[in-house]
Structure 1
Amino acid sequence: MAGGFKAGFVRLMQYLQDPEHVARFQRLCGVRATEPRDRLGNGAPYVRHEDVQNGGGDGIRRRDAEKEKRNNGVANGAAACTGDDAMGSTVKPMRRNSLTGDVGQDFLIENKLLYYLFTFGTELGNELFYISFFPYLMWGVDAFVSRRLVVVWVWVMYLGQCTKDVFRWPRPSSPPVVKVEVFYNSEYSMPSTHAMSSTAIPLSLLLITCSRWEYPLMLGVFLAVTWCVLVCLSRIYMGMHSILDIIAGVLYSLLIILIFGPALDTIDTFNQTHPYAPVLIVSLHLGLGLFSFTLDTWSTSRGDTAQILGSGAGIALASHVNYKVGLLPDPPMSMLPLQPPPFTLSLIGICALRFILGVIILLATRAVMKALTIPLVCRLFGIPSNDVRKARQHMEVELPYRYITYGTVGFNALFFVPFVFSHIGLL
């Protein structure tokens, strides 16, 4: 009985991991390859799970037949099309990786609406979103909510990135998958950290605010579910994850929130009030980073993890400083639940001005710190800095650069920017 259950479970996992499902979803959404490919973007050949049982003979014959079929399809498509409008627009993969130089292959988009929708969805898990969303909560909504949400985000993303480097599963193979995005193609696949963050952030936002703010609860649930589903589907659309990666990411995120969620109030209070909090914040985030970076080959995972830990440390330090100087104080419990202010032109204008000015300060901070730290660290460790792309792939450069740069960005987001706002009448 146990053996049969185990065999059935393994078959289910293999079925959910099959890249054919990803490719089928892409074709359903109007994504087509412009030319056949024989290899993965990360260098691994495409082999079905059932082909392993017979030494790959069936897989070789199948791939030969599929390759001939694709070649014929591409030739027929080229003969039938006289322009982009015949089959769709030819598009380059999103966000070329400046560190790996991977540019991917061209592909056809037959449904532009879905392309833009899923592009938006996948950006909800990228750096530009985080550097905009979290500060907006800090400056325009509720610093209390943003502090705790960042703690959850750091937990989820750190554990997700570490788990990827433990499993070391490759991305869905191409062919049959079309790589609509290539920026994260050098990372491992299991679990999907986009799925983890898109589960943790809206769910935690709902749990933190439901008893703190007055708003329609069902509207919050609908937005949280929509957010999660959109991001998860976008990762399959982009060709970055299998169905199994997505399911595992969602379940893993729920497990992390279930285990660590009760400690959220204690952690936030400690960060604000304990006299030794700054020392522990810096040492803990540095220790977690050094403990996790044992990659066999370089990928964007290491830098992203250092970036997340640095941001979390900077924001936690800023919460401690804010508490000491009385900046962005939490409202007394007697005022809860809070009511959203009425939307007026004046309120919209102030929020827009805060957001624009604040993001400019953060982007300037990132640019300045990046320009200062990379040459400095290269000189400190004797690494040539004439090729920045190669220099940043050295752990001695990447970790300090990411940690210091994004630690400063996080600190400025919660302390320096509100401090500026308070002195120019925007707070």
Structure 2
Amino acid sequence: MAKDLKTMFVRCCGYLQDPHHVASFQKLCGVQGSFPVKLSRKEWENDFFVNGACVKRHQDQSGNGEGHVGGPQIEGPLQRKSVTAREQHNDCSNKLQHGTALVSGIGETPEQTVSHEGNRQSSGCRLTGKSSKAVESDRENGDSSGRVKPLRRNSLTGDVGQEFIIQNKFLFYLFTFGSELGNEMFFIVFFPFLIWNVDAFVSRRILVVWIWNLFLGQSTKDIVRWTRPASPPVVKVEVFYNSEYSMPSTHAMSGTAIPFSLFLLTYGRWQYPFLFGLSLAICWSFLVCVSRVYMGMHSVLEVITGFLYSLLILAVFQSTLDQIDSFYLTSHHAPLVIVILHVGLGFLAFTLDTWSTSRGDTAQALGTGAGAALASHLNHQLGLLADPPLSSLPLAMPPLSAALLARSLLRLLLGVVVLLATRAAMKAATIPLACRVFGLPAGDVRQARQHMEVELSYRYIVYGTVSFSCVCLVPLLFSYLNLS
């Protein structure tokens, strides 16, 4: 019985990990790739011998009058293709940069893997989702409204990604927004807004949950070491995190931990309907989780694992948040413990695998947590940003007015400008300084940051300073400008 359950569980995991489910969902949502696909013999013959489309196009692109560069060469009953050294190099680069699995993935047979390799190497004339004639007709007519590339290049390799076709722009913008709910620019706006305009008490605890979710999620990625879903069949709508491992989805973890911890920490402390808070948390989490499949960054299994993993972490930490927060605020040993804990976890994360962008994300979260915890301790010692007394609970939401909205927006805009300026100034100074201190060349910033000494120094100093400013210095500025 136990053996049957194990076999069923493994098969279920293999089914949910299959990249073809991601590709099918993308197609359902109107996303079509532009990578070449392998054609059957009959299709090649129709194009090659009847229409002449392949020969003509490759003549136009290569300038080669022989007409076989990039197309098939016919030798007896077999079809072969001529591949230049440059094309082979680009193909190998694409496999690494686009997260192509180099071994058979779970739920994928060796035959499917071979078929995908053939698809990746094929220089066929038809594009996924549209025939070559339809694509050429669109280009001739100037119809390129649905043809776009990923918004940001890969943060490690610099790869800009392949062009793809968007047929449903509403879903594209919706899931792009959902994906951004797990990126840096969202956090640099969300947490300050929560601290300055809502409740510093809640924000301190959510930061603890978020940091531990990100640390445990990224560390698990480096232990499991699963690659991103293979492309093709998956279309890489986003490539920024494509060089990282993918199991579990840390976007799904953050997109679950933040809304659900926000709901658990505010319900009963603030007056609002239970169903409103729960529905908001569910919709927020669902949007982020589904967006990662839409973007081609995660399989269904990785997203589900991230969701459940985050709920487990939240359940463990929910009962200890009061003790952690009280220790950070009141203990005389708190500053030393905060620094040792956050820096020690950063060193631990760097020993799990070779350098990748996930190392920086982990150190960035730990640096942010350290800076915020130290600032909260200082605020408590100086009597700044005191929490409302228990007798005033539950807190009532103030009535919306033009003056309240204007004051909140002014605090947010002014504060975020200060934080972005602080981040930019610290970035410009920290990496060259770290390279000089550790005797490393500073000419190539990307290479310099692959050294643990530089990356940890850079992340802790920059984001520790930014979060310290957010929690302590910016509120003092608001008080000075009478914006508190």
Runs (5+) with no aligned partner, structure 1: none
**Aligned position for 1:184:** 241
- 2:346–2:363: 8 Å Cα contact kept in structure 1? yes
Once residues 119 and 186 of structure 2 are traced to their aligned partners in structure 1, the CA distance between those partners, rounded to angstroms, is: 43
The residue aligned with 1:384 is: 441
The answer to whether the 8 A contact 1:87-1:110 is kept is no
Answering whether residue 270 of structure 2 is matched by residue 216 of structure 1, we say no
How do 1:378-417 and structure 2 match up within 5 A?
378-417=435-474
3-state DSSP class of the match of 1:32? strand
Deviations 1:104-131 (A, max 9, x none): 1111111111111011000000000001
Distance 1:257 1:296, change over 3 A: closer
Indicate how the Cα distance of structure 1 residues 57 and 96 shifts in structure 2: closer, same or farther if over 3 A, else same: closer
Q: Deviations over 1:13-46 (max 9, x none)?
A: 0000000010011111111112227764135347
Of 195, 210, 214, the residue aligned with 1:138 is 195
Between the aligned partners of 1:317 and 1:59, the Cα distance in structure 2 is 51
Task: Determine which structure has the larger helix proportion and give its number.
Answer: 1
- Determine the structure 2 residue equivalent to 1:12: 12
Q: Which amino acid aligns with 1:167?
A: V
Q: Does 1:368 align with 2:422?
A: no
Q: CA RMSD in A?
A: 2.1
Secondary structure class of the residue paired with 2:240: coil
Q: What letter corresponds to residue 293 of structure 1 in structure 2?
A: F
Secondary structure of 2:216's counterpart equals: helix
Written as runs of structure 1 = structure 2, the 5 A alignment for 1:28-427 is 28-36=28-36, 40=95, 41-45=98-102, 47=104, 49=106, 52=109, 56-57=110-111, 59-60=113-114, 64=118, 71=127, 73-82=130-139, 89-427=146-484
Change (3 A) 1:234 1:316: same
Q: Cα–Cα, structure 1 residues 153 and 44, in superposed 2: closer, same or farther, change >3 Å? A: same
In 2, distance between residues paired with 1:181 and 1:281?
Answer: 35
Residue 14 of structure 1 aligns with an amino acid whose one-letter code is: G
Structure 1, 95-104 or 144-153: larger mean CA deviation:
95-104
1:155-201 superposed Cα distances (whole Å, 9 cap, x missing partner): 11111111111100001110000111111011100000111111111
Give me the whole-angstrom Cα distance separating, in 1, the residues matched to 2:7 and 2:406. Answer: 60
* Equivalent-residue separation in structure 2 for 1:355 and 1:61 (angstroms): 52
Which amino acid is 1:283 matched to? I
CA contact (8 A) 1:84 1:90 kept: no
Normalised by the size of structure 2, how large is the TM-score? Answer: 0.84
In structure 2, the residue matched to 1:25 is 25
**Compared CA separation, residues 283 and 346, structure 1 to 2 (3 A):** same
- Deviation string, structure 1 residues 48-103 (Cα, Å, up to 9, x no partner): 65664xxx346535865896695584424324535688685111112113442121
State how far apart, in whole Å, the 2-side matches of 1:153 and 1:50 are. Answer: 32
Mapped to 2, the partners of 1:306 and 1:84 lie a distance apart of: 49
CA offsets 1:128-151 (integer angstroms, 9 cap, x no match): 000100000100011111111111
| Cα distance in 1, alignment partners of residues 316 and 116 from structure 2 | 46
| One-letter identity of the residue aligned with 1:182 | V
TM-score, normalized by length of structure 1? Answer: 0.94
Higher relative contact order (CA 8 A, sep 6+): 1
Q: 1:326 to 1:220 in 2, by over 3 A?
A: same
Distance 1:62 1:109, change over 3 A: closer
| Structure 2 counterpart SS, 1:386 | coil
2: CA distance, partners of 1:49 / 1:413: 44
Contact 2:156 2:356 in 1 (8 A): no
- Output one character per residue of 1:267-290: Cα deviation in whole Å (capped at 9) or x when no partner: 001111111101100110001111
In the alignment, which residue of structure 1 is the partner of 2:75?
none
Letter of the 1:164 counterpart: K
Gaps spanning 5+ residues in structure 2: where? 38-90
Task: Flag the 1:239–1:62 CA change in 2: closer, same or farther, 3 A.
Answer: closer
**C-alpha distance 49-205 of structure 1, shift in aligned 2 (>3 A):** closer
Q: Answer with 1 or 2: which has the greater Rg.
A: 2
Would you say the 8 A contact 1:148–1:268 is kept in 2?
yes
